[in-house]
Copies of this chain bind each other. A is one copy, B any other.
């Protein structure tokens, strides 16, 4: 169990940001000390890093991230439901299918955005590499020239 400062260092976020994320309902420390200090588990930290990655890499707003995550929670809820005896009911099975489909659609959309970004990133990387080799060549030229 870590205190906020420790987590800030681990995640490279500020304490303010961590509290802000919590305020938005994005992350919640698993516990508090008697006196009210936030206590984070390793799992919490992993979760925070995932949020950060989603923000940085997907470029998603914190609101969007929250929406995705809320959907994830519905998924977890669904999973629990799956093992309850209620699922004998046919109507309930239909409801679960509906939710699963919705989740699938959303995740696939997210995935496609990621894929698109990955493609463009690869292009950009190639561009950089070409520029870099051109520079390296030019440097060689100049060095040769200066020796003559």
Chain A residues in the interface with B (C-beta under 8 A): 53-54, 56-59, 82, 90, 93-94, 96-97, 100-101, 103-104, 107-108, 110-111, 114-115, 117-118, 120-122, 124-125, 128-129, 131-132, 135-136, 138-139, 142-143, 145-146
Residues of B within 8 A of A138 (CB): 82, 100
Whole-angstrom distance from the CB of A116 to the nearest CB of chain B?
10
B97 touches A142 (CB 8 A): yes
State the oligomeric state as a number of copies.
2
C-alpha gap A4/B129 in the complex (Å)? 32
B94 touches A124 (CB 8 A): no
A100 touches B57 (CB 8 A): no
B57 touches A121 (CB 8 A): yes
C-alpha gap A142/B142 in the complex (Å)? 69
C-alpha gap A130/B85 in the complex (Å)? 27
Residues of B within 8 A of A128 (CB): 107, 110-111, 114
